[in-house]
Structure 1
């Protein structure tokens, strides 16, 4: 049994646990009937895992994901089961202190090979595409939009999902060729509706949800939200007060790390450079700010009536 709490968790192997699958940040333990998803303190950028962990980041990601999933499970199928200690398998009880705050019990799903990105504001690669071609995800937009400004309406811009290598943005038409028109339409409808509801809640908490990515999979024949939900790793969050004042918004998310890396002499290919202690501390402060704002009113967001299930 671990003797003391670990401030930073880079891999489960470091504490004597074997995972069934290791992603860029999360590791999965298969416990037969379901899965235990553990968020480590690893951080990735430009599809590379950085050598420097951000202590306690995994706990913040799990806290925010569980918060959103508790709200979402009232309106659509999700893979979320619990974060209650009573639901931690007995085989993992000796690691309870190490895993505390980092794990979620989730249902097994057949994941769809796509990242469902929804953009409400122009930033990042979305702004660069618009600046070049007046499109986003291949979809035409009116002239006169600005960087960090709102789009006429939230837009679905999918990408491929890669566990190794670079994700690639694709058009809705290309996605239809891979998944079919019906599944693509369901993904688009669900992604946009979830984004609208989450954006409204975040705004009441003093946050602009500029964009995010969702992942979906099939569970018992129903399309369900899986993976993480609206964390600073998967979303852009900005302070409402800065957006309303017309200022360049402070990124309360992983964009802060991306911008730091862009200013280094690094070509974007592994190995990635280390983060300075100052960047690690500031990243943690920004993630905690999002958690504080979102969870200030309770542990479950009100997101409205159920969304029609897709089968």
Structure 2
């Protein structure tokens, strides 16, 4: 692997205040803004794997920037810039070789503690819940649906934002209890509008957006805005339209490929995670890059 494809697994900028190192992102605080750096780390089953995926952080940042701009007519978002030279910070500028293409300078806001998930198709935990209850998050669905079927219409299935462990699916009534009816309705409406607009666009590019999650924040002047990332292979299930066939799992542009590999070697899903073989790393990188290329019409390499 040549130098330019060596994955970035972590960042260390001691001159800036590190406020969070998540599964994928390193977040630094700069006055009333945040510097969000998408590394090439990848997690599966809530465990960060020892190998990084080349270009993954750049795909996440590039796609988020693309979707933030594409959906800005629906809702404002937290993105200020992804261009290092526009961040007006000498410390960041000195790290340009590492940070370029994988960094977002964003507004710092109060985070709303709800994961806003929109499902257009029956997959993942939604499929498991449907098999048991014929519903998802209390929303009754028609009988006889198959795995990967398109739902009669997309549904809003929120979950809690867990700081540790798994998020928990919750009914909409719980969101109302948590944040109030007005804000809950706004989160549902805006999340649905973004999903529908993005789905129509992606379908024209040969990609099905099975489901996705959005995160939201509130500014100091009490305005709700879209935050975190948007419609990436880490926050969404992307399926190629070609070969789509309900009744089974679909080929995917996201990390389901890695989950399937880890299941095949019977890993117990407890840390430490096993190392990934080079061919699994390469194929996963190719999947992320191909999703970016298809959706933006641009190439990262």
**Where does 1:76-91 land on structure 2 (aligned, <5 Å)?**
76-88=75-87, 89-91=89-91
Q: What's the CA shift for 1:131?
A: 1.1
CA contact (8 A) 2:212 2:237 kept: yes
Say whether the 8 Å CA contact 2:147–2:247 is kept in structure 1.
no
Give the Å deviation of 1:208.
0.4
Q: Which runs of 5+ in 1 are unaligned?
A: 299-311
Q: 1-side partners of 2:211 and 2:271: how far apart?
A: 26
SS in 2 for 1:243: coil
Residue aligning to 1:215: 215
Contact between 1:40 and 1:58, CA under 8 Å: does it hold in 2?
Answer: yes
Does 1:226 pair with 2:227?
Answer: yes
1:63-102 alignment to 2 at 5 Å?
63-88=62-87, 89-102=89-102
Contact 2:74 2:194 in 1 (8 A): no
Aligned ranges 1:270-281 → 2 under 5 Å: 270-281=271-282
1:255-276 residue CA offsets vs partner (Å, 9 max, x unmatched): 2122222223233333323222
Give 2:154's aligned residue: 154
Question: Once structures 1 and 2 are overlaid, which stretch shifts more, 86-95 or 186-195?
Answer: 86-95
Aligned residues between the structures: 295
Compared CA separation, residues 248 and 267, structure 1 to 2 (3 A) = closer
Q: Secondary structure at the match of 1:131?
A: helix
Paired residues for 1:16-55 under 5 Å: 19-55=18-54
C-alpha change, 1:16 and 1:265, in structure 2 (3 Å) is farther
Aligned residue for 1:165, secondary structure, equals coil
Deviates most, 73-82 or 7-16: 7-16
Tell me what 2:168 maps to: 168
Aligned to 2:127: 127
The TM-score with structure 1 as length reference comes to 0.89
Deviant stretches of 4+, over 4 Å = 14-18, 244-248
8 Å CA contact retained: 2:17, 2:29: no
Q: Which consecutive residues of structure 2, in runs of 5 or more, have no partner in the other structure?
A: none
Distance of aligned partners of 1:246 and 1:152 in 2 relative to their CA distance in 1, 3 Å threshold:
same
Note the 1:168-207 alignment, pairs <5 A. Answer: 168-207=168-207
Once residues 167 and 249 of structure 2 are traced to their aligned partners in structure 1, the CA distance between those partners, rounded to angstroms, is 27
Deviation at 1:6, TM superposition (A): 7.1
- TM-score, normalised on structure 2? 0.92
Which has the larger displacement, 258-267 or 195-204? 258-267
SS state at 1:10 partner: coil
Deviation, 1:154, is 0.4
What are the superposed Cα offsets for residues 161-207 of structure 1, whole Å, 9 maximum, x if unpaired? Answer: 12322211111122222222222111111111111011001001110
State the Cα distance separating 1:17 from its structure 2 match: 7.0
Whole-angstrom distance in 2 between the partners of 1:28 and 1:73:
23
Distance 1:167 1:213 in 2: 12
